Amino acid sequence: MLVTIPAVVTPDQVRQLRAKLDAAEWVDGRVTAGHQSALTKQNSQIPETHPVAREVGEIILQALGRNPLFRSAALPLRVFPPLFNRYAGGQTFGTHVDNAIRTHAATGQRIRTDLSCTLFFSEPDEYDGGELVVEDTYGSHSVKLPAGSMVLYPSTSLHHVTPVTRGARVSSFFWLQSMVRSDEQRALLLEVDGAIQMLELGSAAAVKLTGVYHNLLRQWVEM
């Protein structure tokens, strides 16, 4: 399941955070790539222990904590501290699957990557190319979102970033371990949650369906 979450951060925040990111030191993005993906990865990143990465990452995590769609779609258990990348001058990232386990350099925190997240910090008209293309059983999905918006997709998916042929594509990327490991189960819970929102609050149907939601979650959750 691929979920788009609009306006995770406000346009004002995008401007402020983007200025901090642009002023940081960027290094070769292969520092966080596995042996295989290092072969096809061309971009720049801010080192994960860099103060700007930690400061902006914390603001993103706070915004996500307040976002009902994110909480409902991801059911996050542990979120990896956000990282930042930039593609320019034809840079691209070929088809790959993200590593199953991530250990954060500074905190030593280890997570299983259930969901991959990309939060865009460039407006689509600032650059050409740079689409995130995610493959699933229903075909390929091309994603290019407004600055401040985010996409969540299963970390099991093959994906790539098309070459950026004009301008620069700056984004935050990170992973999370969900309380519900199965993408299918998570998708069902999100459907049920969406149906509850359509019902009148406190109605018999809403109460009953909320019970179903929690009883499904109880069966599937792991913490």
Question: To the nearest whole angstrom, how small is the minimum distance from the Cβ of residue 205 to Ni ion?
Answer: 41
Q: Can you list the positions of beta strands (E) in 83-188?
A: 83-88, 93-96, 101-103, 110-112, 115-120, 128-129, 132-136, 139-143, 150-154, 159-161, 164-166, 168-178
Q: Is residue 98 at the binding interface for Ni ion, with CB under 5 A as the rule?
A: yes
Q: Would you call 2 exposed, middle or buried from its count of C-beta atoms within 10 A (0-12, 13-18, 19+)?
A: middle
Q: Is residue 114 at the binding interface for Ni ion, with CB under 5 A as the rule?
A: no
Six-digit token string for 78:
């542990």
Q: Is 105 or 207 the residue whose CB approaches Ni ion more closely?
A: 105
Strand, coil or helix: 180: coil
Query: Phi/psi zone of residue 148: left (φ > 0), alpha (ψ -120 to 50 degrees), beta?
Result: left
CB closest to Ni ion, residue no: 98
**Range in contact with Ni ion (rule: CB under 5 A) among 84-92, 97-105, 106-114, 135-143:** 97-105
Site for Ni ion in 49-88 (CB under 5 A): none
Question: To the nearest whole angstrom, how small is the minimum distance from the Cβ of residue 46 to Ni ion?
Answer: 17
**Range in contact with Ni ion (rule: CB under 5 A) among 2-10, 96-104, 122-130, 164-172:** 96-104
Question: To the nearest whole angstrom, how small is the minimum distance from the Cβ of residue 43 to Ni ion?
Answer: 11
- Closest alpha carbon to 63 in 21, 10, 122: 10
**Range in contact with Ni ion (rule: CB under 5 A) among 77-85, 91-99, 150-158, 177-185:** 91-99
Six-digit token string for 218:
């109880």
Q: Is 69 or 132 the residue whose CB approaches Ni ion more closely?
A: 132
**Range in contact with Ni ion (rule: CB under 5 A) among 1-9, 22-30, 67-75, 90-98:** 90-98
Which amino acid makes up residue 1?
Answer: M
Question: To the nearest whole angstrom, how small is the minimum distance from the Cβ of residue 118 to Ni ion?
Answer: 9
Question: To the nearest whole angstrom, how small is the minimum distance from the Cβ of residue 180 to Ni ion?
Answer: 21
> Can you give the length of the chain in residues?
223
Give residues in contact with Ni ion (CB under 5 A): 98
